Chains A and B, each alone.
Chain A
Amino acid sequence: MASQIPAIEITGLTKDYSVGFWRKRMRRSLDHLSLRVEEGEIFGFLGPNGAGKTTTLKLLMGLIFPTDGTANILGRPIDDISMHRDIGYLPEHPYFYDYLTARELLDYYARFSHYPAEERRVRVARVLERVGLASAADVQLRKFSKGMLQRAGIAQAIIHDPRLVFLDEPMSGLDPIGRHEVRDIILDLKTQGRTVFFSTHILSDAEMLCDRVAVLHEGKLRGIGSPGKIVSLEVQAMEILFEPVENQPLPSNLAQHATPVGGRYRMEVPEAELYRTINDLRSCSARILSVSPVRPTLEDYFLGLVERKPNAPVEAHAQ
Chain B
Amino acid sequence: MSAMPGVVAINTFREAVRDRVLYNLVFFALLMIGAAIIVGQISIGIERLVIVNLGLTAISIFGLVMAIFIGVGLVYKEIEKRTLYSLLSKPIRRWEFLVGKYAGLILTLVINTAFMTAGLAVALFYVGRPFVRSDASILIAIYFILLALALVTAIALFFSCFSSPMLSTLFTLAIYVTGLFAADIRDFGALTHSSFIKTATSVLYYLVPNFHDFNSIAVAAHGESIPFALVWQNTLYALMYIALLLVASSAIFSRRNLK
Contact = CB atoms under 8 A, between A and B. Distances in A.
Nearest to A60: B89
Given A91-B82, A99-B18, A156-B86, A65 B257 contact: yes
A99 B81 CA distance: 13
Interface stretch (A2-10, A79-87, A249-257): A79-87
A98 B71 CA distance: 19
B89 A114 contact: no
Contacts of A96: 83, 86
Given A63-B258, A65-B255, A91-B85, A97 B15 contact: yes
B55 to A, nearest CB: 31
A109 interface: yes
A75 interface: no
B90 interface: yes
Interface stretch (B3-11, B110-118, B153-161): B3-11
A64 B79 CA distance: 12
Interface in A84-126: 84-85, 87-91, 93-97, 99-100, 108-109, 111-114
Interface residues of B, number: 24
B253 to A, nearest CB: 12
Interface string B81-108: 1111111111111000000000000000
A61 B88 contact: yes
Choose among A85, A90, A100, A111 the residue with the greatest number of B CB atoms under 10 Å from its CB: A111
Contact of B90 (A64, A84, A93): A84
A153 interface: yes
Contacts of B15: 97, 99
Interface string B14-28: 110011000000000
Contacts of B91: 81-82, 84-85, 112-113
Nearest to B258: A63
Given A63-B258, A65-B255, A99-B14, A109 B90 contact: yes
Nearest to A153: B86
Interface string B217-259: 0000000000000000000000000000000000000010110
A114 B91 CA distance: 10
Interface residues of A, number: 32
A58 interface: yes
A65 B254 CA distance: 10
Interface string B152-195: 00000000000000000000000000000000000000000000
A63 B15 CA distance: 23
A228 interface: no
Given A64-B258, A95-B83, A111 B7 contact: yes
Contacts of A260: none
Nearest to B96: A81
Contacts of B3: 114
Interface in A232-267: none
A112 B89 CA distance: 10
A64 B257 contact: yes
B118 to A, nearest CB: 26
Contacts of B89: 61, 84, 87-89, 91, 157, 166
Given A58-B258, A65-B257, A99-B18, A109 B11 contact: no
A270 interface: no
Interface in A154-198: 156-157, 166
B88 A63 contact: yes
Interface string A51-69: 0000000100111110000
A96 B81 CA distance: 8
Given A81-B91, A85-B91, A97-B15, A91 B258 contact: no
Contacts of A61: 85, 88-89
Choose among B18, B88, B89 the residue with the greatest number of A CB atoms under 10 Å from its CB: B89
A62 B7 contact: no
B48 to A, nearest CB: 41
Nearest to B84: A63
24 contacts: A62-B88, A63-B257, A64-B257, A65-B255, A81-B93, A82-B91, A84-B90, A88-B89, A90-B86, A91-B82, A91-B86, A91-B89, A94-B82, A95-B82, A96-B83, A97-B83, A99-B15, A99-B19, A100-B14, A109-B90, A112-B4, A153-B86, A156-B86, A157-B86
Interface of B: 3-4, 7, 11, 14-15, 18-19, 81-93, 255, 257-258
Given A89-B86, A157-B86, 13 more contacts: A58-B85, A58-B258, A61-B89, A82-B91, A93-B82, A96-B83, A96-B86, A97-B83, A100-B14, A109-B86, A111-B7, A112-B7, A156-B86
Closest 6 CB pairs of A and B: A89-B89, A112-B90, A91-B85, A99-B18, A84-B91, A64-B257
